[in-house]
Amino acid sequence: MEDYGSQALRRLLEALSDAVLETHAKLGDATAQIDASRIVDVARLLRDDPDLQFEMLTDLTCVDYIEQQPRFEVVYHFYSVARNRRVRIKARVAADVCQIDSLIDLYPSADWMEREVWDMYGVRFEGHPDLRRLLLYEEFEGHPLRKDYPKERRQPLVGPRN
């Protein structure tokens, strides 16, 4: 019997083969590496396909591979409540572009997760209606989870807000 994660990857390959760069289902974790420009198409298929029904975006994060190109990998975890299954989607983003389309229109839960990735890594989410810092103050300079962020860096002091 085929694992549901493998079924999801197979369906993704059937429907959007030009968007998928590679897949694997190691240790029960179904993962697809996709072309970053197709993230909205992939997410829409995962959500709307009646055979998939990934109705929840449960996590969105970023990994900084400072020595590689493209440098950043945006990682999405989708969950199907109906089928009790999950799938991981990864999209690489170059440091000079450093942006990917927002999923907030498809998954409202993306709102704060995208803001956190912007705040910590500097990856911009095109189409996000309120992309501003979430954890740090607006005057904070840089993105502290980037591997080249200097740990000794001093930040501007900000007075109390009214």
16-71 per-position pLDDT tens digit: 999 999 999 887 789 999 999 999 999 999 999 999 999 999 999 999 999 999 99
Task: Specify if 84 maps to a domain.
Answer: yes
Q: Convert the pLDDT of each residue in 77-91 to its tens digit.
A: 999 999 899 999 999
* SS3 at position 37: helix
Q: How far is CA 51 from CA 9, 55, 64, 80, 154, in A?
A: 12, 12, 33, 10, 51
In a domain, 139, yes or no: no
CATH number of 106's domain? 3.30.460.80
Q: Alpha-carbon distance 13 to 17, whole Å?
A: 4
Quote the domain boundaries for residue 24. Answer: 4-126
What is the average pLDDT score of the chain?
Answer: 92
Domain-located, residue 154: no
Phi, psi of 33 (to 5 degrees): -95, 125
Whether the predicted model's global pTM rises above the 0.75 cut: yes
Count of domains for the chain = 1
Q: Is the pLDDT of residue 5 over 90?
A: no
Domain assignment present for residue 91? The answer is yes
Considering the domain boundaries, does residue 49 fall inside one? yes
